[in-house]
Chains A and B, each alone.
Chain A
Amino acid sequence: MKKNKNSDSPSNRLWKFFASVKLTVTLLIIIALTCIIGTVIPQNESPSADSLRYGEFLYRIFRVLSIFDMYHSWWFQFLIFFLAANIIVCSIDRLSSTWKVIFKKTPSFDIAKLKNSCKEEFTASCTPHELKTLFLPLLSKLFKYTNMQDRDNGFIIYAEKGRWTKLGVYAVHFSVILLLIGGLIGSYFGFDGSVIIPEGKSVKNVILRNTGAGQPLDFEIRCDDFNVAFYESGMPKEYRSALTILENGKPVLTKNVIVNDPLRYRGINIFQSSYGAMQPENITLSFTDRNTGTALRKKISLGEQIDLPGTFGKFTLNKYLHSYNFRGHNLGEAFAGTLTPPNGEPEEVILPINFSGFDKMRMGSIVISPEDTEQLYYTGLQVTKDPGVPVVYSGFIMMIIGCFITFFISHIRFCVEVVKKKGKSIVIVAGISNKSITGMEARTKKLNKLLSDTIRG
């Protein structure tokens, strides 16, 4: 706590503002409310779709307020920054006094307050002196700290444990700061990209998700093979890419990557994220002479030209069509080629892959039919680097431990008072905790029973 002579100085007032729980509650409510916006208004969609949906006027307002990417907007980050400042100032403000309370050698205790709490009592038929020799060792074994004081007609033992649990709250708050730091590290030193690799090919660059820019890697990723397995119902069961990491062209690591089991190499994580069919590069065609029935099978690649036997001339495979429309019917994938007789006009030939007899309709003297294509797949990988993850994960662990300590381990204090009365002793057990009252009632009863049992036992 800053000690200013004038407690109303601006810096002091600012400090107090940031140290208040009122600010915490206000910020938490505002952040919760603003978060809703981003779940109702789709984030990071195309500007044209957005302006169509909301109209030009609203679109411009939203644009100015970065509503379409609100979790990264200046004002949202400003709120988060305030929350962080709030936590830090609040913790510093209280930590020194909490520290002193926790690590004080001889804690003070307020008997009046203790007597106001859960209370049990019993009468023992021995003297306070005998009880003292029984109770003191027992209580110092059960509690971290005990303190005995003699009174005129008896004694009081004060016992407590769990004072350190007051630090739990600081762990929780520090964990929130760790999460924010981890997030910042990730956004400054990490990247999130994706890449498509055809089977058998390798890449050295990935495309960044946010900007679409290329991000070079220090190594190459090669996709040796891609497989997709299905359940009987037709639902996909597993996507699997066999990947090899190449350093300077030499393979250094090979791994099958499936969803939920990424490849991690030199701080870069490679995840299975999508797949697709490559457009075919070549096809095996059969050329049948309509008159003789003799057929020739030949594999041909896109752009290749082959010489046909006899007088049929040349055939060129020109292009691949994703879908071919014939008189209003979609015939699906097809290749287009050109047939050039030695002395005639070139003629366009369409070869729908799934309709091998299609070319018969051309009524040419040679019939070309597609036989089979080699289907290659590509694998879609997500490639990320996030050096903030260890920090974030430590925050996660610290938050769980901190919450557990704060919520469920209590600082408990007992006061056992023994008073002599007509040759007997009255034992009063009073307890207090900073947590649940009901739990403390049960604890007090238990201690009361334990003490009365030790006398008999």
Chain B
Amino acid sequence: MNSSILLSLTTFIYGFAAFFYIVSVVFKKPFFGKTGTWTCLAGIAGNTGGIIMRWIESYRFGIGHAPLSNLYESLVFFSLVIVAIYLVVEKTYANRSLGAFTTPLAFLAMAYASLSPNISDRIQPLMPALKSNWLIAHVITCFIGYAAFAIAFGLGIMFLLKQKDSQGKVPFIKLFPDLHIMDELSHQMIMFGFLFLSAGIITGAVWANSAWGRYWGWDPKETWSLITWFIYATLLHARFMRGWHGKRLAYLSIIGFIAVLFTYFGVNLLSGLHSYGR
């Protein structure tokens, strides 16, 4: 058993979890929801185990470093955080319908990491600029933030679906939490994500300052993370304005997550320092 096998296995486990949650919502079978929860827990165990094994393996190759240094490793960590946050929410709010919208994201992230030909899952040595504890702090904080935004994104979609179907014609939508609960939960997620995104941008700036003597350089990746930050700041402020509740905030949360995805994947199409992500 090595970390690659364990993480591939985790991908499948997340796939099953997503499947169970979706079946549970669509066919209104609570049993499948519970199975989903247990499957998620198994996934978290595999995911965490995989990350730890990868860490140990990197030391065995003589190039030891925390497994947070390239796109593959960050996606694996991202999936772990999404599922972990989701499970906390599931427990707090005692509602499993959100699982049908978030576990697929964790599954897709893992599947993309394992299957995409552009992403190497080899354990690679670190180039000199990446040898910094600030980088580890940067990756961890950013991806916790992104994961919270991913969940807010799922909630945003659920919110719009439920609002559109206000008469409760579609049976599975009836299982969604009430609109005001989803609104509040999504706000919680966005505040949580915003705090971590801010911390992520800050640790990135401190890292850049220790590596290049400039805490901010307007490179595309930096700028896109700032754009994302502005979008969520807009959202937080928009709550104070009249007429900006529910639907518009749900749209903003969806747009915000698209900006996250672009910061993460799209920027590699542009040029810049951060293109190590490839």
Residues of A at the B interface (CB closer than 8 Å) are 21-22, 24-25, 28-29, 31-32, 35-36, 38-40, 42-43, 71, 183, 192, 231, 233, 235-239, 258-262, 269, 271-273, 382-384, 386, 389, 392-393, 396, 399-400, 403-404, 407-408, 436-438
Contacts and interface: CB of A to CB of B under 8 A. Distances in A.
Nearest to A193: B213
Contacts of A36: 227
Contacts of A28: 230-231, 233-234, 237
Nearest to B202: A396
Looking at chain B's contact residues, the main secondary structure is helix
Contact of B237 (A21, A183, A239, A393): A21
A404 B124 CA distance: 36
B270 interface: yes
A32 B271 CA distance: 19
Nearest to A240: B128
Interface in B118-148: 124-125, 127-129, 131-132
25 contacts: A21-B240, A25-B241, A29-B230, A31-B230, A42-B271, A192-B214, A237-B125, A260-B128, A260-B131, A260-B207, A262-B213, A269-B213, A383-B213, A384-B214, A386-B215, A392-B205, A393-B206, A396-B202, A400-B202, A403-B194, A403-B195, A436-B184, A438-B92, A438-B93, A438-B184
Contacts, number: 115
A384 B213 contact: yes
Contact of B127 (A25, A235, A400, A437): A235
Given A28-B230, A399-B202, 17 more contacts: A21-B237, A21-B240, A21-B241, A22-B241, A25-B237, A25-B238, A32-B234, A38-B223, A39-B224, A40-B270, A42-B271, A183-B216, A231-B125, A386-B215, A407-B194, A438-B93, A438-B185
A382 B241 contact: no
B224 A239 contact: no
Nearest to A395: B202
Nearest to B215: A392
A393 B210 CA distance: 13
B84 interface: no
B161 to A, nearest CB: 21
Contacts of B223: 35, 38-39
Interface in B90-120: 92-93
B202 A407 contact: no
A26 B71 CA distance: 34
A238 B126 CA distance: 10
Contact of A407 (B131, B191, B218): B191
B209 interface: yes
Contacts of A261: 210
Contact of A271 (B184, B198, B212, B240): B212
B234 A192 contact: no
The 3 closest A-B pairs by CB, nearest first: A384-B213, A32-B230, A259-B128
B128 A38 contact: no
A437 B180 CA distance: 10
Contacts of A35: 223, 226-227, 230
